C-alpha cells in the first residue's frame, strides 16, 4: 500500500490542498444558502444564513406563542402585497401574498396554474394521510374521496341529522353554564374548555352518534351536580377566579383531543414528516392512535349492523355521517361488482378529518367570538333584542328557540355577527397553493413548484390595504373589481357587525356577504368542505348562548393576548382561564370592556332564558344573585313566614335545579309552566315547609338523572320531605285564607313525591327490590303516605275557594278529572308497579280505606300523564 509521507510534501502542495477543501466547502455553503426569486422583496439577512428566516420566525414564536401570524407581518414590513421568506433549509422560498382580490382570483379561477401545495398535504400527513386534504385536485383519488363525502353538506342532511345533534349538545352546555353561574359568585370561571368539549360532543354525535355516557359536557354537568348536592363549595377565599373541577373525558374523546393537539407539529415544523415520525414513537401518542383505531372500527361495525337490520339503502335515511359513508361504500361496491370494504383507510381518515375540522376550528372561532362579543356591549344588546323579536313565541312561552326555529329564521344581524367573528378570528390564517406552471402574481415571476401562502389576517382583510396598481393584476382579477367592496382603513381591525349590513330606504336591514373582503373558508373547489356545517354550528351556538347569557368584561389584570396553535389559532390555555358569571339584577358594573383571553364575566339573562322572570316589582329570589350571595357569606333573602334563615349552598343548588330542570320536566303544559317555575317557589319563600317539599323533589329528580348520585340524592330528598311534613302538620292546625295556597302547594308536592317513590327508583337505590331500604319505602308508601293523601281531600275542601281564585287558578281549569277512571284504562307497567303498594296493607283492618286512597293516587297519575302526552304530540307536530 502506498503511504503518504506528509513530511515529503512541499508547503505549496499542502496549501493548495487546504485551499481546495476550503473553496469546496465555501461553494457548498453558498449553494445551500437561500436563493431568492428575482424582483420579490425579502429579508437580506435571511440569504446569508443556512436557516434563512427561521431564526426570526422562532423568535416571534417565543414572544407570542404562535407562528402563522408572522407571515402577514412580512408584507407589512415591506409594504408590499408580495414578498418571499425562507423557512425550509435547502428548500425553495415561499411566496407570501396579502391581497384579497388576487388571492380570490387564484383560488377560484386560476385552477390550472395553482393546486394544493405539498406543505398543505404534509401538515396532516401524520394523522390523516388518506384524507382528501392529502390529494391535489387533479388526482383521481380526490374525486373518489369527494364522492364518498358527497351530500353531507346538503341542506337536507344538515337540517335532519346535524342540526338536532348540535342543538342537543349546545343545550347541555347551556345547562352546565347555568350551574356554573349559580356557584361562581360573580367571579370568572373556566369556559374555554367547556366550548371545546361541547363542539367535540356535537361533531362526534353528528359523525357516528354519541350517547350521554360518553358526552364530555354531560359528564361534566353530572359531576358538578353531584359535587354541588354533596355540599362542595367551589369558590376559594382570596381567589379572583373560580376553578371548577374538570371531569375526565371518555378515553375515545381524550385520544381524539390528544391527536388533534399533535397536529400543531405538522402546521409549524419546517420538516413535518420527520417530526411526525419521531412524535408518534412516543407512548402516549401511540396509545391515542390505537384507541382511535379501535373506536372507529367498532363504530363502523355498529353502523354496518344497524343498516343491515333496518334494510335501508337510501342515504337520506341515515342518522350519522358514518352510516352515510357505509351506504356510499355499499353503492360503490355494487357498481364495481366487488365486496364492500368498510374498513378502508379512506373511510377511517375521512371520518376523523371530519371530526378534526368540525371541532377544532369551530371551538377556536367561538372562543374568539366571546372576546369580541364581550368587548361590544351595544352589538350584544342589539343581537339579543332582535332574537327576542324573532323568537317572540319562545320568549312568551319561556322556552328555548327550537332547532327548526333557529334554522329557518331570517336574522341579518346574527349573520353579520357570525361573519364578523369569522373575519377577525381567522383561525386558519394561511391558505397555501403550489404553482403548477411558470406564472406571475402581480407582475412578479413565480417559477413552477413555488409554494404560495395567502394570508387571511393581513392587509386588505384585517389590516390597512396595500395599494396595488390595477394594470399589474391578472385579467380575471381585474374583472372582479366591482364584485366586492372595501373595508374602511380606520376601522378594519375593529369588531363592527354593521359593516355587513345594507339598509334600504325603508330602514329594512339585509345581510350582504359581498360588502368587503372575506376569505376565511378559502374559495374555489378546494375551499373549506365543511363551510355549511360551520355556519350551522355557529348559528345554533350563538342563538342559544345569547338567549341565555350576557357576556361581560373582566378586570384588566386578568387580560392576556397570548394564543396557541393547534389546527387553528386559538386563545392560549392558561391556568386559570375561563368565563365568569354575574347576575343581571346585581351587576350594574361600568368597567371598561376587558378580556383575559377566556376569562369573561358571563351572566344569565332572565328575560331570554327558559326561566320566566318574576312579575315586577318582585325581584326573583331564584336568580344567580341569591346563589352568589350564599357562596360569599351574605345572607340570602329571608324565607318569609316561619323562618328567617339563609339558604345554604347545597339548598341553593337544589332550588336552582328545581327552577331550571325539575319544574320543566314535571310540567308539560305551557299554560301552567309559570306556576311550577315561579308561583310555587314564591310560596316556598313564604312558607318553609313548602320550600322543603320543592327541594325534596329536586333531589329526587337529580337521583333519576344522575345514577352515580342516586343514593345520596335519595337520602337528601327524604330529609327535605320529612322536614316538609313536619311543617305541614303545624300549619294544618290553623287553616286560613292566608296559608291555603301553601297547603295546596304542599299537597301537590306530596302527591308527586308518592308518584316518584313508587316508581322503579325505589328498587334502584341499592339495585335489589327486596332490600331493607326498599321494604322501608314500601312501608312508608302503604302505611303512612296513602292515608295522609286521603286525608288531604278533606283538608283542602275548606280552602278550595281561596286558592282557585289566586295564582293557582290555571291548574284548576285543566284536564278532565271527572271523566277519568283508572279501572277503564289498560294497565301500564308503571301503573302495575304503582299498585304493588297493596302488599303493605294486605292484612290491615283498614285495607278499604287504603284502597280508596290508592284509587285517588292512580287517578292523579292518569290525570297528570295526559299533559305529558299532549306536549309530546304538540312537539311532534
Give the pLDDT of residue 608.
39
Q: What are phi and psi of 246, to 5 degrees?
A: -105, 120
Q: Which residue has the cell 367561538?
A: 366
**Can you tell me which residue has the cell 317557589?**
681
Looking at per-residue pLDDT, the higher value among 679 and 673 belongs to 679
Out of 217-231, 339-353, 463-477, 724-738, which region has the weakest mean confidence (pLDDT)? 724-738
**Beta bridge partner(s), residue 430:** 455
Do residues 630 and 615 touch, judged by C-beta distance below 8 A?
no
Between 837 and 620, the higher pLDDT residue: 837
Q: Please tell me the distance from the alpha carbon of residue 666 to that of residue 659, in angstroms, as a whole number.
A: 11
- Kindly report, residue by residue over 106-119, the tens digit of the pLDDT: 999 998 999 988 77
**How far apart are the C-alpha atoms of 814 and 811, rounded to whole Å?**
6
Residues with Cβ within 8 Å of 776's Cβ and at least 6 positions away in sequence, in order, are none
Phi, psi torsion values for 689, nearest 5 degrees: -65, -30
pLDDT at 473 over 50: yes
Confidence grade of residue 594 (pLDDT, cut at 50, 70, 90): very low
Reply yes or no on whether the pLDDT at 69 is more than 60: yes
pLDDT in tens, 361-400: 899 899 899 888 988 989 999 999 999 999 999 888 888 9
- 211 or 92, which is more confident: 92
Task: Report the 10 Å Cβ neighbour count for 480.
Answer: 16
| 594 phi/psi in degrees, rounded to 5 | -140, 145
- Sort 146 into a burial class: Cβ within 10 Å, 0-12 / 13-18 / 19+: middle
CB atoms within 10 A of CB 159: 15
- Report how far residue 64's alpha carbon sits from residue 85's, in angstroms, rounded to the nearest whole number: 19
In this predicted structure, what is the pLDDT of residue 410?
A: 93
| CA-only gyration radius of the chain, Å | 33
pLDDT reading at 873 higher than 70 = no
pLDDT at 141 over 80: yes
Asked if residue 730 has pLDDT above 80, the reply is no
Give the model's pLDDT for residue 168: 92
Domain residue extents for the chain:
33-136+432-478, 155-428+520-603, 648-876
**Are 536 and 542 contacting, i.e. CB atoms less than 8 angstroms apart?**
no
Which residues touch 152 (CB under 8 Å, ≥6 apart)?
321, 324, 354, 533
Report the distance separating Cα 286 and Cα 114, nearest Å: 36
Q: Is the model more confident about 235 or about 354?
A: 354
528 is in an annotated binding site: yes
**pLDDT higher than threshold 80 for residue 533:** yes
* Range with the poorest average pLDDT among 319-328, 465-474, 731-740, 769-778: 769-778
| 541, 170 Cβ separation under 8 angstroms | yes
Task: Tell me the CA distances in angstroms from 691 to 293, 684, 707, 733, one per residue in order.
Answer: 52, 4, 24, 19
The CATH classification number of 155-428+520-603 equals 1.10.630.10
pLDDT of amino acid 205: 92
In sequence order, the 6+-apart residues with CB closer than 8 A to the CB of 577 are: 190, 192, 571, 596, 597, 598, 599
Residue 443, pLDDT above cutoff 80: yes
Predicted pLDDT of residue 539: 97
| C-alpha cell at position 102 | 388576487
What average pLDDT does range 478-493 have in this prediction?
Answer: 86
pLDDT band at 124 (very low <50, low <70, confident <90, very high): confident
Answer whether 33's CB lies under 8 Å from 47's CB. Answer: yes
For a pLDDT cut of 90, what percent of the chain falls above it?
A: 22
Exposure b/e, 385-401, CB count within 10 A at least 16 = b: ebbbebbeebbeebbbb
Q: Can you give the pLDDT at residue 37?
A: 94
Report the mean per-residue pLDDT for the chain: 76
Mean pLDDT in residue range 58-82:
87
Q: At what angle do helices 345-356 and 192-208 cross, to 10 degrees?
A: 150
Q: pLDDT-derived band of residue 309, with 50, 70 and 90 as boundaries?
A: confident
Identify which has the larger pLDDT, 692 or 667. 692
Q: What is the pLDDT of residue 320?
A: 87
pLDDT tens digits, residue range 398-415? 889 999 999 999 999 999
Evaluate the omega torsion of the peptide bond into residue 696 and state whether it is cis, within 30 degrees of 0: no
pLDDT of the residue at 406: 96
Closest CA to 694 of 712, 675, 668, 670: 675
Confidence tier at 314 by pLDDT (50, 70, 90): low
Amino acid at each position: 500500500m502506498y503511504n503518504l509521507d506528509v513530511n515529503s510534501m512541499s508547503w505549496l502542495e499542502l496549501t493548495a490542498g487546504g485551499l481546495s477543501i476550503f473553496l469546496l466547502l465555501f461553494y457548498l455553503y453558498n449553494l445551500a444558502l437561500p436563493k431568492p426569486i428575482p424582483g420579490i422583496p425579502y429579508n437580506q439577512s435571511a440569504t446569508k444564513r443556512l436557516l434563512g428566516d427561521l431564526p426570526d420566525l422562532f423568535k416571534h414564536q417565543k414572544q407570542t406563542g404562535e407562528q402563522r401570524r408572522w407571515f402577514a407581518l412580512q408584507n407589512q414590513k415591506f409594504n408590499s402585497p408580495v414578498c418571499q421568506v425562507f423557512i425550509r433549509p435547502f428548500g425553495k422560498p415561499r411566496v407570501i401574498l396579502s391581497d384579497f382580490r388576487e388571492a380570490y382570483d387564484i383560488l377560484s379561477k386560476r385552477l390550472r396554474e395553482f393546486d394544493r401545495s405539498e406543505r398543505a398535504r404534509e401538515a396532516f400527513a401524520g394523522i390523516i394521510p388518506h384524507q382528501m386534504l392529502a390529494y391535489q385536485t387533479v388526482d383521481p383519488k380526490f374525486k373518489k374521496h369527494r364522492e364518498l363525502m358527497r351530500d353531507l353538506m346538503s341542506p337536507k342532511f344538515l337540517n335532519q341529522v346535524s342540526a338536532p345533534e348540535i342543538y342537543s349538545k349546545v343545550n347541555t352546555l347551556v345547562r352546565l353554564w347555568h350551574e356554573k353561574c349559580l356557584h361562581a359568585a360573580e367571579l370568572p370561571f373556566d369556559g374555554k374548555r367547556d366550548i371545546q368539549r361541547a363542539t367535540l360532543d356535537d361533531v362526534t354525535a353528528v359523525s357516528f352518534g354519541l350517547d350521554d355516557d360518553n358526552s364530555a359536557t354531560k359528564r361534566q354537568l353530572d359531576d358538578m351536580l353531584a359535587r354541588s348536592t354533596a355540599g362542595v363549595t367551589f369558590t376559594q377565599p382570596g381567589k379572583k377566579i373560580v376553578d371548577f373541577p374538570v371531569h375526565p373525558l371518555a378515553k375515545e374523546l381524550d385520544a381524539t383531543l390528544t391527536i388533534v393537539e399533535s397536529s400543531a407539529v405538522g402546521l409549524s415544523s419546517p420538516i413535518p414528516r420527520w417530526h411526525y415520525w419521531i412524535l408518534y414513537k412516543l407512548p402516549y401518542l401511540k396509545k391515542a392512535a390505537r384507541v382511535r383505531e379501535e373506536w372507529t372500527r367498532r363504530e363502523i361495525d355498529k353502523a354496518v349492523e344497524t343498516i343491515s337490520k333496518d334494510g335501508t339503502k337510501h342515504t337520506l335515511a341515515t342518522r350519522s355521517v358514518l352510516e352515510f359513508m357505509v351506504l356510499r361504500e355499499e353503492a360503490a361496491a355494487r357498481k364495481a361488482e366487488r365486496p364492500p370494504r368498510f374498513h378502508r383507510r379512506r373511510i377511517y381518515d375521512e371520518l376523523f378529518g371530519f371530526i378534526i375540522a368540525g371541532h377544532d376550528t369551530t371551538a377556536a372561532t367561538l372562543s374568539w367570538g366571546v372576546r369580541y362579543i364581550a368587548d361590544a356591549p351595544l352589538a350584544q344588546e342589539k343581537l339579543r333584542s332582535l332574537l327576542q323579536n324573532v323568537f317572540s313565541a319562545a320568549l312568551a312561552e319561556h322556552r328555548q328557540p327550537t332547532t327548526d326555529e333557529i334554522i329557518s329564521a331570517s336574522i341579518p344581524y346574527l349573520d353579520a355577527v357570525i361573519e364578523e367573528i369569522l373575519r377577525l378570528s381567522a383561525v386558519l390564517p394561511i391558505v397555501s397553493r403550489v404553482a403548477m406552471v411558470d406564472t406571475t402574481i402581480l407582475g412578479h415571476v413565480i417559477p413552477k413548484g413555488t409554494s404560495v401562502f395567502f394570508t387571511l389576517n393581513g392587509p386588505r382583510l384585517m389590516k390597512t390595504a396595500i395599494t396595488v396598481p390595477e394594470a399589474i393584476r391578472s385579467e380575471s382579477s381585474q374583472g372582479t373589481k366591482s364584485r366586492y367592496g372595501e373595508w374602511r382603513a380606520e376601522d378594519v381591525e375593529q369588531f363592527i357587525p354593521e359593516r355587513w349590513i345594507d339598509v334600504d330606504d325603508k330602514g329594512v336591514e339585509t345581510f350582504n356577504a359581498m360588502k368587503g373582503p372575506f376569505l376565511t373558508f378559502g374559495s374555489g373547489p378546494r375551499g373549506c368542505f365543511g363551510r355549511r356545517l360551520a355556519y350551522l354550528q355557529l348559528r345554533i351556538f350563538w342563538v342559544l348562548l345569547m338567549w341565555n347569557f350576557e357576556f361581560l368584561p373582566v378586570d384588566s389584570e386578568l387580560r392576556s393576548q397570548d394564543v396557541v396553535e393547534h389546527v387553528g389559532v386559538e386563545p392560549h390555555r392558561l391556568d386559570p382561564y375561563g368565563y365568569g358569571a354575574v347576575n343581571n339584577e346585581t351587576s350594574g358594573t361600568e368597567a371598561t370592556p376587558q378580556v383575559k383571553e377566556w376569562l369573561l364575566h358571563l351572566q344569565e339573562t332572565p328575560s331570554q332564558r327558559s326561566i320566566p322572570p318574576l312579575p315586577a316589582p318582585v325581584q326573583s329570589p331564584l336568580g344567580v344573585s341569591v346563589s352568589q350571595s350564599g357562596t360569599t357569606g351574605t345572607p340570602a333573602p329571608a324565607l318569609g313566614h316561619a323562618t328567617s334563615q339563609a339558604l345554604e349552598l347545597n339548598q341553593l343548588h337544589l332550588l336552582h335545579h328545581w327552577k331550571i330542570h325539575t319544574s320543566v320536566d314535571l310540567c308539560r303544559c305551557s299554560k301552567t309552566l309559570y306556576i311550577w317555575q315561579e308561583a310555587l317557589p314564591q310560596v316556598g319563600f313564604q312558607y318553609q315547609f313548602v320550600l322543603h317539599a320543592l327541594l325534596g323533589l329536586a333531589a329526587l329528580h337529580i337521583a333519576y338523572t344522575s345514577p352515580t348520585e342516586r343514593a345520596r340524592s335519595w337520602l337528601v330528598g327524604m330529609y327535605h320531605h320529612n322536614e316538609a311534613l313536619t311543617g305541614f302538620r303545624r300549619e294544618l292546625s290553623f287553616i286560613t285564607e292566608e296559608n291555603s295556597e301553601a297547603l295546596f302547594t304542599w299537597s301537590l308536592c306530596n302527591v308527586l313525591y308518592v308518584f316518584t317513590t313508587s316508581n322503579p327508583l325505589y328498587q334502584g337505590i341499592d339495585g335489589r327490590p327486596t332490600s331493607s331500604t326498599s321494604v322501608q319505602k314500601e312501608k312508608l308508601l302503604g302505611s303512612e303516605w296513602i292515608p295522609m293523601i286521603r286525608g288531604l281531600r278533606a283538608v283542602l275542601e275548606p280552602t278550595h275557594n281561596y286558592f282557585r281564585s289566586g295564582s293557582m287558578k290555571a291548574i284548576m281549569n285543566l284536564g278532565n278529572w271527572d271523566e277519568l277512571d283508572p279501572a277503564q284504562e289498560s294497565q301500564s307497567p308503571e301503573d302495575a308497579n304503582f299498585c304493588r303498594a297493596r302488599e303493605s296493607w294486605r292484612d290491615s283492618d283498614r285495607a278499604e280505606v287504603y284502597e280508596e286512597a290508592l284509587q285517588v293516587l292512580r287517578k292523579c297519575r292518569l290525570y297528570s300523564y295526559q299533559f305529558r302526552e299532549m306536549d309530546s304530540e304538540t312537539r311532534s307536530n
